[in-house]
Structure 1
Amino acid sequence: MFLVNKRISIKETHITLKTDSEKFIKLAKNTIINERINLENYILKHPEFLTSYVPISVGVDAPKIVKIMARAGENADVGPMASVAGTISQMVVENAIKYGCKNIISENGGDIALRTERNIIVGLYAGTSSLSGQIGFEIKKDKALNGYGICTSSGTVGHSVSLGNADAVVVFADESSIADAAATSIGNFATGAPDEAINKCLEKAEDIDYLDGVFVVVGEYAGKIGKIPKLVKTDKKVTLGELFELM
Structure 2
Amino acid sequence: MTTSRIIRERIQIEETNILLKTDLKKHYLPNFILEQRMELTAYIRVHPEFLTSLEPLVVETMPPTPLIVSMMARAGRRAEVGPMAAVAGTIAQLSMGFMLKNGAKYVIADNGGDVALKTNKDVTVGLYAGESSLSGKIGFKIKHEKTPMGICTSSGTVGHSISFGRADSVTIFADEASIADALATSIANSAVGDSDNIAVHNCLERADNFKEHIRGTMVVVGESAGTMGKIPKLVQTDKKVVLGDFFDVY
Fold conserved (TM > 0.5)?
yes
Q: 1:47-84: CA deviations, max 9, x gaps?
A: 00000000000111211000000000000000000000
Runs of 4+ off more than 4 Å: none
Partner of 1:64: 67
What are the residue-to-residue correspondences of 1:1-247 with 2, within 5 Å? 1=4, 3-24=6-27, 27-60=28-61, 61-144=64-147, 147-192=148-193, 193-208=195-210, 209-247=212-250
CA RMSD of aligned residues (A): 1.1
| Equivalent residue pairs, number | 243
Question: Distance between the aligned counterparts of 1:44 and 1:2, measured in 2?
Answer: 42
Q: Contact (CA 8 Å) 1:2, 1:18: kept in 2 or not?
A: no
| Secondary structure, aligned partner of 2:226 | strand
Structure 1 pair 113/137, CA: closer, same or farther in 2 (3 Å)? Answer: same
Corresponding letter in the other structure for 2:43: Y
Unaligned runs of 5+ in 1: none
What is the TM-score when the length of structure 1 is the normalising length?
Answer: 0.95
Corresponding letter in the other structure for 1:205: A
Unaligned runs of 5+ in 2: none
Question: Distance between the aligned counterparts of 1:88 and 1:201, measured in 2?
Answer: 25
What is the TM-score when the length of structure 2 is the normalising length?
Answer: 0.94
Question: Distance between the aligned counterparts of 1:227 and 1:238, measured in 2?
Answer: 23
Question: Distance between the aligned counterparts of 1:2 and 1:72, measured in 2?
Answer: 34
Q: CA deviation at 1:243?
A: 4.7
Q: Contact (CA 8 Å) 1:31, 1:91: kept in 2 or not?
A: no
